[in-house]
C-alpha cells in the first residue's frame, strides 16, 4: 500500500557521512531539510505570533493531539476549518498523536491492546485514546503530517518492555491505517460537533474536515535496543510505502551515545529517500549530531520554554539573562544573530524586562531561541550542499561548548 502522497526530493546525495539536504513537499508548501519545527502545543507557539515565525524562516510547525483534544477540543478546531485556519498559519503543520503525553503528562494511565485510558492533567476527567480515535482527532485537526498513536516507554526500559511497546506500536499502526482509510473512503460527514450552547452561532456548523491530503508517519520504537529498532523499522516497512518516518522514544532519559547508536542503526533501515523525524529532540548539539546521522526533522519545546525562563542560546553556549553581569551590557544576546531581538535590543534592556516581569522579555527570548535553531538548520543545509557539514559542525560545537560554563 502506498501512503507516500507527499514527495521528498533529496537535492543532494549523501555527503560527509549520512547528512543530507532535501525538500519535503506538503499541501501547504515545502520544507527545506534538515529543519527544526517550532512547537505550538495548544495551536500557538508560546509567546510568538505566526508572523514572527514566518519572518524568522520557520517552515513547518508542530501541534499536539492530546492537548488540543482536551482544550479546546479537536471538533471545535475542525469547525473553524482545521488548525491552519484556526491559528492563522498557512505553512505546513505536523500533529503529534499524543502518545508521549498520554504516558508522561496524563495520570493513572492504563494500557491495553485496545488503547490507553487516562485522566486529563487539567481536570482529572477520564478519556480513552485508541489508534482509531487518534486518527479521528488528527483528521479533525487537519495537519499536513499526522503521527500514529504509539506506546511510549521510558528510555532505560528493559528489553521485554521495549519489545512489548514496540510491537504494540506496529499493530496500532496497522489499525491507524485501516481507520484512516475508512475515514477517507467512507466520505462520512462528521456526525458530531463541539457540544452546542444556546448562544452558539447558527450553521455552517458542523463543518467537514478539510479535504487536503494528510500523510501518516509511522513511529519507530524499540528503546535503546538496536535489534528491536531494526525489527520495528522492518515491520513498519512491511505495512506500506510511507511518506516519512518518526523516530520515537529517544531523548527520554537515555545516555547520548545510546541515542546516537540508534540513529546510526536506523540510517540503514529507513529508506534514504524518505524524511526522518527525530521526535522531541531540539538542543543545538542534538540537532547537529542528528543531522550527521541522517535526520531531517526535529522538534522540541526547549527554545520557548528556556526563553520564558530567561535562558538564551548563543554561539558561545547558553546565557541566563537575569544574571547581574548583563545589567550594563549593550551587546545583543548573540553578536552573530540577525533575529528581530538581536537586531534591536541589548542584553541590559532584556534583563530589565525580565526583572520587571514584562512580557516583551519572554517574547524576545522565545523568538531569539527559535530563530537560533531555525538558522542553525539553515546553515547546516548550506554546508551539506557545499560538502563541508562535518568540519563546520565540529567547529560549531567546539565553540558552543567552549564557554558554556557561563550559563
> Active-site positions?
96, 299
Q: CB of 30: closest distance to a copy of itself in angstroms?
A: 23
CB nearer to a copy of itself: give 186 or 201: 201
Q: CB of 79: closest distance to a copy of itself in angstroms?
A: 6
The candidate with the shortest Cα–Cα distance to 141, out of 87, 90, 189, 209, is 209
Please report whether residue 316 would count as binding a copy of itself according to CB under 8 A: no
Q: CB of 116: closest distance to a copy of itself in angstroms?
A: 23
Q: Figure out which of the listed residues 42, 105, 397, 407 binds a copy of itself, where binding follows CB under 8 A.
A: 42
Q: Figure out which of the listed residues 201, 238, 398, 405 binds a copy of itself, where binding follows CB under 8 A.
A: 201
Q: Figure out which of the listed residues 239, 360, 397, 407 binds a copy of itself, where binding follows CB under 8 A.
A: 360
Pick the stretch among 1-9, 100-108, 126-134, 360-368 that binds a copy of itself (CB under 8 A).
360-368
Our CA angle for 331, 337, 343, nearest 5°, is 60
Tell me if 348 sits within 8 A of 331, measured CB to CB: no
CB nearer to a copy of itself: give 34 or 40: 40
Question: For the purposes of burial, counting CB atoms within 10 Å of the CB of 255, is it exposed (0-12), middle (13-18) or buried (19 or more)?
Answer: exposed
Q: CB of 43: closest distance to a copy of itself in angstroms?
A: 7
Residue appearing with cell numbers 498559519: 89
Please report whether residue 229 would count as binding a copy of itself according to CB under 8 A: no
CA pair distance 384, 10, nearest whole angstrom? 11
- 3-state percent breakdown (helix, strand, coil) of the chain, nearest 5: 40, 15, 45
Pick the stretch among 107-115, 140-148, 183-191, 322-330 that binds a copy of itself (CB under 8 A).
322-330
CA pair distance 271, 370, nearest whole angstrom? 29
The candidate with the shortest Cα–Cα distance to 156, out of 285, 259, 261, is 259
Q: Figure out which of the listed residues 114, 181, 358, 386 binds a copy of itself, where binding follows CB under 8 A.
A: 358
Please report whether residue 84 would count as binding a copy of itself according to CB under 8 A: no
The set of cell numbers assigned to 105 is 503528562
Please report whether residue 346 would count as binding a copy of itself according to CB under 8 A: yes
Label the pairing between strands 22-26 and 8-10: antiparallel
Helix (H) or strand (E) holding 74: helix 74-79
CA pair distance 184, 204, nearest whole angstrom? 21
Question: Torsion angle, CA of 73/75/81/85, rounded to 10 degrees?
Answer: 10
Please report whether residue 87 would count as binding a copy of itself according to CB under 8 A: yes
Tell me if the bond preceding 206 is cis, omega within 30° of 0: yes
Binding mask 268-307 for a copy of itself (x = CB under 8 A): ----------------------------------------
Q: How far apart are the first and last CA of the chain?
A: 50
Please report whether residue 54 would count as binding a copy of itself according to CB under 8 A: no
Q: List residues near a copy of itself by CB under 8 A.
A: 42-44, 46-51, 71-72, 76, 79-80, 86-88, 194, 197, 199-201, 205, 324-325, 327-330, 340, 344-346, 348-349, 352-353, 355-356, 358-360, 362-363
Amino acid at each position: 500500500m502506498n501512503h507516500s502522497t507527499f514527495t521528498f526530493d533529496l537535492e543532494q546525495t549523501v555527503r560527509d557521512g549520512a547528512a543530507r539536504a532535501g525538500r519535503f513537499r506538503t499541501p501547504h508548501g515545502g520544507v527545506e531539510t534538515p529543519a527544526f519545527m517550532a512547537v505550538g502545543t495548544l495551536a500557538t507557539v508560546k509567546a510568538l505570533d505566526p508572523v514572527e515565525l514566518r519572518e524568522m524562516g520557520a517552515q513547518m510547525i508542530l501541534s499536539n493531539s492530546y492537548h488540543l483534544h482536551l482544550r479546546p477540543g479537536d471538533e471545535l478546531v475542525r469547525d473553524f476549518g482545521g488548525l491552519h485556519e484556526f491559528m492563522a498559519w498557512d505553512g505546513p503543520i505536523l500533529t503529534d498523536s499524543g502518545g508521549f503525553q498520554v504516558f508522561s503528562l496524563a495520570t493513572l494511565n492504563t494500557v491495553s491492546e485496545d488503547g490507553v485510558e487516562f485522566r486529563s492533567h487539567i481536570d482529572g476527567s477520564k478519556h480513552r485514546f485508541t489508534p482509531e480515535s487518534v486518527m479521528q482527532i488528527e483528521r479533525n485537526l487537519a495537519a499536513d503530517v499526522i503521527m500514529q498513536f504509539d506506546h511510549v516507554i521510558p528510555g532505560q526500559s528493559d528489553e521485554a518492555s521495549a519489545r512489548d511497546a514496540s510491537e504494540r506500536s506496529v499493530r496500532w499502526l496497522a489499525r491507524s491505517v485501516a481507520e484512516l482509510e475508512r475515514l477517507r473512503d467512507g466520505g462520512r460527514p462528521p456526525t458530531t460537533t463541539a457540544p452546542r450552547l444556546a448562544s452558539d452561532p447558527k450553521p455552517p456548523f458542523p463543518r467537514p474536515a478539510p479535504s487536503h491530503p494528510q500523510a501518516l508517519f509511522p513511529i519507530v520504537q524499540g528503546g535503546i535496543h538496536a535489534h528491536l529498532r531494526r525489527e520495528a523499522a522492518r515491520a513498519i516497512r512491511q505495512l506500506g510505502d510511507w511518506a516519512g518516518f518518526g523516530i520515537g522514544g529517544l531523548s527520554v532519559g537515555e545516555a547520548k551515545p545510546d541515542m546516537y547508536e540508534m540513529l546510526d542503526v536506523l540510517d540503514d533501515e529507513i529508506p534514504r529517500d524518505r524524511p526522518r523525524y527525530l521526535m522531541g529532540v531540539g538542543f543545538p548539539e542534538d540537532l547537529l549530531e542528528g543531522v550527521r546521522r541522517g535526520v531531517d526533522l526535529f522538534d522540541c519545546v526547549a527554545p520557548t520554554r528556556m526563553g520564558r525562563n530567561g535562558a538564551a542560546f548563543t554561539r558561545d553556549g547558553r546565557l541566563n539573562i537575569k544574571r547581574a553581569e548583563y545589567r550594563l551590557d549593550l551587546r545583543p544576546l548573540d553578536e552573530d544573530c540577525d533575529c528581530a531581538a538581536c537586531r534591536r535590543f541589548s542584553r541590559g534592556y532584556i534583563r530589565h524586562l525580565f526583572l520587571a516581569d514584562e512580557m516583551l522579555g519572554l517574547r524576545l527570548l522565545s523568538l531569539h531561541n527559535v530563530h537560533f535553531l531555525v538558522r542553525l538548520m539553515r546553515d547546516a543545509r548550506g554546508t551539506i550542499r557545499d560538502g563541508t557539514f562535518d568540519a563546520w559542525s565540529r567547529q560549531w560545537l567546539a565553540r558552543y561548548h567552549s564557554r558554556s560554563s557561563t550559563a
